[in-house]
Amino acid sequence: MSESDQAIHGYGTAVLEPPPYAIPSRKLTMWLFIISDAITFGALLFGYGYLRTASSDWPTPFKFNPSILNVMIMTVVLITSSLTMLGAVDAAKAGDKGKAGRFLWSTIFLGVVFAGLHIREWFGLIDDGVRLFQNPWGSPLFGATFFSITGLHLLHVVSGVVALAVIARGFSKGRLTAGYVETAGLYWHFVDLVWMFVVPLIYLLNLSR
């Protein structure tokens, strides 16, 4: 609409420009957030790598049983939750509220299982004597790096679970559109993606042999 039309018809008429990249602004915002969060996690992982390289006595406490087995189960759970999230987004776009809801709650359930396994692992390490700035094995910064990186990821998982629950409820009641489900899906896949870096760098490089 031209500016002259706007002048004639008043300021109530909105001038709409096509969205950048041909996606809704909500989706673009989520992509931009994901990029910034990826850089944040990258900085944390680089910081961890820096401290590990600079330390001559970095602990390597993760035994196959129970630590690595637990991590493998957590990885399967999280990647499966990404698959159910795909189903939820697709069902939401197709307008099938029932199916979208079932997939969303499946994703939420798997997220809760992941968080539960993770917290159980934390308690195991705390029982072994690992704290933020001390542990029985070596460099005192092991605990700080481990708990901060896995803790930030866990925070993302928990907040994602809460967001998915809100969106599942809102979508089933017709208050939220499929676009919200899709945007939440992007976030959830990102959380899975970060875990694929955390596992090899934090756990598999610190195996107990």
Partner 1 sequence: MTASGASGNVIAKYLPVYFVLLGIAGLEVFLAYQNFSTVTLLVIFLVLAVCGAALAVMYFMHLAQERRSLFLSLIPAVIFVLLMMNMIWSDSFRLLHMRPFAH
189 binds partner 1 (CB under 8 A): yes
Question: In angstroms, what is the minimal distance from the CB of 83 to partner 1?
Answer: 5
Question: Smallest distance from the beta carbon of 199 to partner 1, in angstroms?
Answer: 7
Answer yes or no: are the C-beta atoms of 152 and 44 closer than 8 Å: yes
Tell me the closest approach of the beta carbon of residue 2 to partner 1, in angstroms.
Answer: 27
Residue closer to partner 1 by CB (options 6, 68) is 68
Strand, coil or helix: 79: helix
User: What is the spatial distance between Cα 154 and Cα 17, in angstroms, rounded to a whole number?
Assistant: 39
Give the x/- contact pattern for partner 1 in 131-170, rule: CB under 8 A: ----------------------------------------
What CA–CA distance (Å, rounded) separates 152 from 29?
21
Cβ neighbours of 182 (radius 10 Å): 20
Site string for partner 1, 24-53 (x = CB under 8 A): ----x--xx--x--xx--xx--x--xxx-x
Of the candidates 33, 105, 147, 197, which one interacts with partner 1 according to CB under 8 A? 197
Angle of helix 178-198 relative to helix 97-127, nearest 10 degrees, comes to 30
First to last CA, the chain: 70
